[in-house]
Amino acid sequence: MSDITIPTSEHADDHSHDHPAWLAHHFDDAEQQFDSGKLGMWLFLVTEVLFFSGMFVAYALFRSLHPEVFVYASQFLNAKLGAINTGVLLFSSLTMAWAVRAAQLSQQKILVSMLAMTLSCAAMFLGVKAVEYTHKWDLGLLPAGMYITQGVAEPNHGNWLQILCIPAAVFAVIFAGWYLFALVGRNRFQLQIAGPLLVASLCFFAGVQLGVFLESGESHGDAHGSGHGATHGDHHEGAGDHAAHAIIVDHMVATSIPGQAFPSEVFVDPKRVGIDEPEINQRGRAGIFFGIYYMMTGIHAVHILGGMGVITWLIVKAARHEFHSKYFGPVDNVGLYWHLVDFIWIFLFPLLYLIR
């Protein structure tokens, strides 16, 4: 078998002189290599699905145990932002699928531009997410351990959004400098990399702008008040929109929380709960929702970041014209990963933002 493999990989060097053969020595042929890579990728996606499953199970368990908490807390999520982000991710999936097609057809220019668009959409997604997160941090809508009771305690205002923008700004400046440098030096290869990266880092700010616009636009007339009301101390206004919700709150007041029937610190530790308000709007209740929310969306965002890393790597390789109809496995596999990230979001979005 080795006598077949070695000449094959030497042939393969034809189109990448400065680079090791794209066919690894232990594979017999390109298709075996592609199939192995692809099966490996699908198995990796399986591990990703099971990795996320933990959080879906946590969501389902606590939803079944405390449905009222989820009804109450999900109104603080802005469905518009979620929907926009869904659209952005779907579009990035389209461009990614197109990129795979371009690689298969050896269309180098389309490949680079499609990868660039995917990267930009990812950055825009994160921009919107940054607005969403920072808005909640401002209101004290935090995981259970840090949750600030809405309308009672004073939330910690901070310049969270600006802080989150700093890394993106730094990247934008670096990439802009690189782009200019490459422009002056007429280095087409570097331009092909710096350009997409610059656009992507700017797209983060586009996302932030979009998010800020939607977040402010929603304050008038949107029934699913995002918690603006709560900051001003009248979160019951938002609650009042839904009769069912009010009933649940009353129910909770009436039945109280377990810790109070037997006076003890067993169920609710007074020093961590702060004000022992027998309602959903407290750490051990709404806080759990936000704990799950941050874990789900946060780990999803980490996957987006990871995806951006590998797409950048693909852009570099694509700019070197490394992919062609015999060797497009990496594009295909990153594509699969990217679609999986989209796949997860398709479930996260309705579970967190829509279902009441």
Partner 1 sequence: MRQLFLNLNELVFSLRTVEIMFFLIADQNKTFWFPEQASTFAPEVDWFFLAVTYISLAFFVLIVGFMVYFMYAYRERPGYRGSPEALHNNALEIGWTVVPTIIAVWIFYRGTIGFLDMMTIPADTRDVQVVAKKWAWSFGYPNGVIDNELHLVVNEPAKMIMRSDDVLHSLFVPAFRAKCDVVPGRYATMWFEPTKTGTYDLFCSEYCGDQHSKMGAKVVVHTKEEYDAWFTKMQIPPSDPVEYGKLLYAKTMGCASCHSIDGAKIVGPSFKGTWGGEVALAVGGTVPFDENYVRESVLNPQAKARAGYEKASLMPSYQGRLKEEQISALIAYMKSLKSE
Partner 2 sequence: MSAVISKPLVAPVESAKEPGNFLTHTSGFLSWALTLDHKRIGLMYLVGVMSSFLLGGVLALVVRAHLFYADGAFLTLKQYNQIFTLHGAVMVFLFIIPSVPAALGNFLLPIMLGAKDVAFPRLNLSSFYLWVGGAIFFLVAMLTTGLDTGWTFYTPYSLETTGPVVLATMGVFILGFSSIFTGLNFIVTINTMRPPGMTWFRMPLLLWAIYSTSIIQVLATPVLGITMLLLMAERFLGIGIFDPKLNGDPVTYQHFFWFYSHPAVYIMILPAMGIISELMSVHSHKGIFGYRMIAYSSVAIALFGFLVWGHHMFTSGMANVTTIVFSALTFTVSIPSAIKVFNWLFTMYKGTVSLTTPMLYALSFMFLFTIGGLTGLPLGALSIDRHFHDTYFVVAHFHYVMMGGTLVAFLGGIFHWWPKMVGKMYNELGGQISAGIVFVGFNLTFLPQFVLGTRGMPRRYATYVPEFEFLHQLSTYGAFLLGIGLFVALGVLINSLFRGKKAPTNPWGGATLEWVCSSPPPHDNFSKPPVVGDPYDFRGLEYDAREGGYVRRK
Partner 3 sequence: MAHTSVDASAQIDSHGGGHGHGDGEFAHPASLTMLFSVFFTLLALTILTVWQSTLDIGAAEIWVTMGIATVKAGLVILFFMHLLWDKPLNAIVFLSSIIFVALFLGFTLMDAQGYHSTIEIKDTLEASLPPAPADLPVVPSMPTT
Give the footprint of partner 1 on this chain (CB under 8 A). 258, 262-267
Tell me how far, at minimum, the Cβ of 266 lies from partner 1, in Å.
6
- Which of 76, 98, 178, 290 forms a contact with partner 3 (CB under 8 A)? 98
Alpha carbon distances (Å) from 354 to 6, 77, 346, 350:
57, 9, 12, 5
**Any contact of residue 97 with partner 3 (CB under 8 A)?**
yes
Residue 142 or 245: the one with the smaller Cβ distance to partner 3 is 245
* Contacts (CB under 8 A) with partner 2, residues 68-87: none
Encoded amino acid at 338, one letter = W
Which residues, 273 to 302, sit near partner 3 by CB under 8 A? none
Nearer to partner 2, 6 or 180 (CB): 6
Question: How many whole angstroms from its chain centre is CA 341?
Answer: 8
Query: Between residues 159 and 264, which has the closer beta carbon with respect to partner 1?
Result: 264
Which x/- pattern, by CB under 8 A, does the window 278-307 give for partner 2? -----xxx-xx--xx-xx---x--------
Long-range CB contacts (within 8 A, 24+) of 33-42: 33/329, 34/327, 34/329, 34/332, 37/329, 37/330, 37/333, 38/329, 38/332, 38/333, 38/336, 40/333, 41/332, 41/333, 41/336, 41/337, 42/336
Measured in whole angstroms, how far is the alpha carbon of residue 274 from the centre of its chain?
Answer: 32
Backbone phi, psi, residue 324, to 5°? -160, 180
- What's the CA gap between 197 and 123, in Å, rounded? 10
Least distance to partner 3 from the beta carbon of 273, Å? Answer: 16
Task: Residue 169: name its binding partner from partner 3, partner 2, partner 1, none (Cβ under 5 to 8 Å by kind).
Answer: none
Residues 37-96 that bind partner 3 (CB under 8 A): 38-39, 42-43, 45-46, 49-50, 53, 56-57, 60-61, 64-65, 79, 83, 86-87, 90-91, 93-94, 96
Using CB under 8 A, which of the segments 79-87, 194-202, 203-211, 266-274 binds partner 2? 266-274
Backbone angles phi, psi at 90, to 5 degrees: -60, -40
